[in-house]
């Protein structure tokens, strides 16, 4: 499995909402702070996006896609001088299959999804991402067109299973947008996701993800990247924000925490599979990274899950 798929699997993105807005006339909608990622695409028309803390608003054209990964309040509007209506105050009788019709619609159509993460440690994916990722090149629009057209048909046509298909298409749009973001290296920052856009560093990260239990050393990882040890260590630290060995340890602990949450195997087996010669060595590393022992983590996670269960 490739590293992007690997981390998305671990973070367990859930489509919280899949839908959109069919807009006409003058309109402006204010959205409050959110968790996770919001992903929108403009199917037709034009509009403005203004995000709190970002100096300049972004004008969106038909086919553009945006990712909003930092949870900041934002506004979508036909014109920026209009007073916004809070999203929660929109009339609910205007909704149909997840699409809200405002002012009669038929001028601007926006589709997308809101994704929250059931897994822990979402900062791996979201921490270094910019507040707005704007995909607007013609190639990007072509790449996203199929999913958008299918999503439009599923949301606007009342057919069996359309809500579930729309959720899967929204998920597809998210992953595809992240892939395009990596291909362009847009608004590059230090962080795991940024590092995947560098072919040499990505080879080392891919090797770690392919076999986390291998006894990786700095020279072996540098060899995977096709670089000298010093150049590799320097570039890795600049791009990822941590040393290669620190990244390896953290990734192992995140894999371990996911397996501990399932409570399906003994700690000793997890330790051996991740390259630790003893359970005590693994427990020391786990506590250093995660802040508690593996046993305490497993117990606390399972208690939390039980507390969230609707029948608990």
Q: Which tens digits make up the pLDDT trace of 133-168?
A: 898 988 888 888 888 888 888 887 777 888 888 888
Q: Pick the residue with more confidence: 116 or 270?
A: 270
- Interatomic CA distance for residues 222 and 203, integer angstroms: 9
- Range of lowest pLDDT (61-70, 151-160, 259-268): 151-160
Task: Kindly report the average pLDDT of the chain as a whole number.
Answer: 85
pLDDT in tens, 223-257: 999 999 999 999 999 888 889 999 999 999 989 98
**Would you say the C-alpha torsion 270, 273, 275, 276 has a positive or negative sign?**
positive
- Helix/strand/coil for 120: coil
Q: Is 302 exposed, middle or buried (0-12, 13-18, 19+ CB in 10 A)?
A: middle
- Decide which of 84 and 117 is more confident: 84
- Read off the pTM: 0.75
Average pLDDT over residues 101-111: 92
Q: What is the pLDDT of residue 307?
A: 45
Q: How confident is the model at residue 308 (pLDDT cuts 50, 70, 90)?
A: very low
Sign of dihedral through CA atoms 238, 244, 250, 254?
Answer: positive
* Residue that the structure tokens 């925490």 belong to: 257
Fold for domain 198-307? Arc Repressor Mutant, subunit A (1.10.10)
Domain coordinates of the chain in residue numbers?
3-184, 198-307
* Cα–Cα distance for residue pair 243/240, rounded to 1 Å: 8
Q: What SS3 state is found at 6?
A: helix
pLDDT of residue 309: 36
What pLDDT was estimated at residue 304?
A: 61
Q: Which fold has domain 3-184?
A: Jelly Rolls (2.60.120)
Q: Alpha-carbon distance 42 to 61, whole Å? A: 7
d(CA 97, CA 48): 25
Whether the pLDDT of residue 119 is over 80: the answer is no
pLDDT tops 70 at residue 262: yes
What pLDDT is stored for residue 121 in this prediction? 66
């Amino acid at each position: 499995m490739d590293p992007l798929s690997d981390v998305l699997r671990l973070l367990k993105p859930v489509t919280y909402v899949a839908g959109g807005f069919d807009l006409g006339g003058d309109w402006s909608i204010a959205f409050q702070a959110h968790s996770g990622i919001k992903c929108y695409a403009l199917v037709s028309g034009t509009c403005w996006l203004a995000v709190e803390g970002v100096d300049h608003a972004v004008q969106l054209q038909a086919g553009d896609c945006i990712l909003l990964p930092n949870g900041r309040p934002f506004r979508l509007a036909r014109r920026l001088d209009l007073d916004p209506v809070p999203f929660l105050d929109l009339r609910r009788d205007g909704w149909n299959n997840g699409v809200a019709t405002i002012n009669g619609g038929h001028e601007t159509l926006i589709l997308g999804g809101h994704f929250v993460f059931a897994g822990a440690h979402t900062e791996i994916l979201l921490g270094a991402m910019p507040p707005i990722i704007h995909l607007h090149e013609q190639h990007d629009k072509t790449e996203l067109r199929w999913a958008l057209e299918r999503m439009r048909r599923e949301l606007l046509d009342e057919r069996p299973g359309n809500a579930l298909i729309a959720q899967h298409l929204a998920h597809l749009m998210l992953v595809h947008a992240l892939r395009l973001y990596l291909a362009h290296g847009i608004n590059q920052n230090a962080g795991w996701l940024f590092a995947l856009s560098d072919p040499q560093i990505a080879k080392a990260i891919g090797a770690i993800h392919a076999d986390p239990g291998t006894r990786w050393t700095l020279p072996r990882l540098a060899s995977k990247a096709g670089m000298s040890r010093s150049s590799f260590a320097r570039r890795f630290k600049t791009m990822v924000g941590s040393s290669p060995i620190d990244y390896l340890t953290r990734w192992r602990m995140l894999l371990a925490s996911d397996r501990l949450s399932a409570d399906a195997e003994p700690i000793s087996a997890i330790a051996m599979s991740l390259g630790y010669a003893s359970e005590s060595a693994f427990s020391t590393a786990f506590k250093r990274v995660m802040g508690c022992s593996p046993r305490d983590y497993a117990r606390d996670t399972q208690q939390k899950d039980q507390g969230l269960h609707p029948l608990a």
